[in-house]
DNA sequence: TTCTTCATGTAATTAGTTACATGATTGA
DNA sequence: TCAATCATGTAACTAATTACATGAAGAA
């Protein structure tokens, strides 16, 4: 059993989905764009690999199924899988990790053009708008279905609230940042920091 | 020249630092915890490897130096490095990527205890408080040094504003989430979603 | 003198991505 | 019947991490 590769957060993420209901691999890819992938993004091919690892560990069980004439593999959680999930949930999870290439480019914006900086900012805003679409759609679906009958609604609310405020933050920041950069002189050497904004940011940082 | 491995965002991030001033590898690790690492976190050993790649591409230049009796390698940017950086900056950068294990655990909180959920939330808040420390310190340093004479202050402000609001968001969300979870019955089956909160979140999502 | 932290790196491993391949289903 | 996209996977590669190693400087 323990000869298989160790389980990662990705493994447990998928195990968590299987704890809700059985999934085919393709259905897992849907969840990646809709729910889990927003907090723990992974490429599609991982989703074909990880469930096999769960099976090797005895935490999931695979069954060959067909849709029409096409074969597919359905995965479901085993009792051992449920207790492994329970054990994993007992350990507090890591805080968020941010990777933001656009912001890296802004950090070095003095070596590029003002227009390039604005383009990175615009792209970040577009990203936030796009992510927020799906977010709104999911929220509306929950409300019309009447959340009282969806047993997973309390968890979804915790996640949805974070993502909602996160996307809004990115968009609002982008609007502000675009204003700032538009006020920059074209020549980097002539740029001066907006000191009142600098103080405003520092005030916002003192929330403790 | 182009026989070396292709450059990644990590490569250009380090190149950007070298565009500010020459760095030893150890000084690069400092910047990773202080500035660049907040937006583009990488493990220390990468910082010993990437500059060599920059040198192989002719974008940086290394010089053997000593501190006392100890040898160290100092890296500085070359003219070709500056133009490579400029070219990279012209392409808009990717939007943010979020990875949040604690939130993954909350998504599946019905399979664990309420206390475990609260622990993940508390850890996220602690994380935000800790990150925010360095953030405040950096902001204060800027103000006392009088930002008008720091040519990189406008860029730092863009980045600092994002991080400030981001850390504050995590902390405020954690406080709210803890309230929510504390109101959960111990038995997962009895948990009901707070519908007024659900609507409140949806309203916050409609900003466009 | 001893302990700790600073500072510098290498080697082994792996988690994850990119690229490739292909048959089935559905709608025009 | 043709095109698009749905659906299912494998293989090759690599960016990044973890683990290991070690000497110098400074503090107690």
Tens of pLDDT, residue by residue over A26-57, are 999 999 988 999 999 999 999 999 999 999 99
Chain-centre distance for alpha carbon A99: 12
Cβ-count burial A124-156 (b if 16+ within 10 Å, e if not): bbebbeebbeebbebbeebeeeebeeebbbbbb
b/e code A66-91 from CB counts within 10 Å (16+ = b): eeeeeeebebebbeebeebbeebbee
Q: Which two tokens stand for residue A200?
A: 């405003």
Rounded CA-CA distance A200/A35 in Å is: 35
Phi, psi of B65 (to 5 degrees): -130, 170
φ, ψ for residue B145, nearest 5 deg: -80, -5
pLDDT at A145 over 90: no
- For position A2, what pLDDT does the model report? 45
Length of chain B in residues, anyone? 208
Q: Please list every residue in chain B whose beta carbon sits closer than 8 Å to the beta carbon of residue A102.
A: 92-96
- Which of the given ranges, A138-142, B129-133, B146-150, has the highest pLDDT on average? B129-133
Between CA A42 and CA A33 the distance in angstroms is 9
d(CA B179, CA A70): 48
Q: How close is the nearest chain A Cα to the Cα of B49, in Å?
A: 19
**Whether the predicted pLDDT of A78 surpasses 70:** yes
Q: Determine which of A149, A157, A174, A181 to mutate to test the interface with B (most B C-beta atoms within 10 Å).
A: A157
| Residue B129 neighbours by CB under 8 Å, 6+ apart | A208, B171
- Is pLDDT of B1 > 60? no
Protein chain B, residues 38-77, with a C-beta closer than 7 Å to any atom of nucleic acid strand D: 41-46, 49, 67-70
Q: How confident is the model at residue A138 (pLDDT cuts 50, 70, 90)?
A: confident
């Amino acid at each position: 059993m323990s000869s298989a590769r160790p389980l990662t957060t990705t493994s447990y993420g998928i195990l968590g989905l299987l704890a809700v209901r059985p999934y085919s691999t393709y259905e897992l890819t849907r969840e990646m764009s809709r729910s889990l992938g927003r907090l723990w993004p992974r490429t599609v091919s991982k989703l074909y690999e990880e469930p096999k690892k769960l099976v090797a560990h005895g935490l999931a069980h695979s069954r060959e199924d067909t849709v029409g004439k096409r074969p597919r593999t359905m995965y479901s959680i085993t009792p051992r899988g449920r207790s492994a999930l329970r054990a994993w949930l007992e350990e507090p999870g890591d805080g968020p990790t941010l990777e933001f290439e656009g912001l890296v480019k802004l950090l070095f914006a003095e070596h590029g053009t003002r227009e390039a900086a604005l383009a990175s900012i615009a792209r970040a805003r577009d990203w936030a708008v796009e992510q927020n679409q799906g977010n709104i759609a999911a929220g509306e679906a929950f409300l019309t279905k009447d959340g009282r009958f969806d047993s997973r609604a309390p968890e979804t609310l915790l996640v949805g609230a974070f993502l909602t405020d996160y996307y809004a933050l990115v968009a609002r920041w982008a609007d502000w940042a675009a204003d700032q950069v538009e006020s920059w002189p074209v020549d980097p050497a002539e740029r001066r920091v907006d000191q009142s904004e600098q103080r405003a940011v520092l005030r916002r940082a003192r929330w403790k």
